[in-house]
């Protein structure tokens, strides 16, 4: 599973700091998500991001097919 948050923020011209301020999600959590350094994401955070970014879960999470 790959997290595509970095691309979405880039496309919308948003910074992690701005998203953190507007959503209440910590910058460290956003940084880890942005760099795919996490093994799980809570439904609460995923929901906040989808609402804030006006996108679907499938825009943030991408299944990588192996081999």
Answer for the pair 58, 4: CB distance below 8 angstroms, yes or no: no
pTM value? 0.88
CA proximity to 3, closest of 64, 60, 63 = 60
CA proximity to 38, closest of 28, 48, 47 = 28
Superfamily of domain 2-62 in the CATH hierarchy: lambda repressor-like DNA-binding domains (1.10.260.40)
Domain boundaries, the chain: 2-62
What is the pLDDT tens value at each position of the chain, 67 positions in all?
889 999 999 999 999 999 999 999 999 999 999 988 888 899 999 999 999 999 999 999 988 776 6
């Amino acid at each position: 599973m790959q997290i595509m948050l970095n691309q979405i923020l880039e496309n919308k011209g948003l910074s992690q700091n701005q998203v953190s301020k507007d959503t209440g999600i910590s910058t460290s959590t956003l940084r880890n998500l942005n760099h795919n350094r996490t093994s799980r994401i809570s439904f609460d955070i995923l929901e906040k991001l989808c609402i804030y970014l006006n996108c679907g879960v499938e825009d943030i999470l991408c299944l990588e097919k192996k081999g």
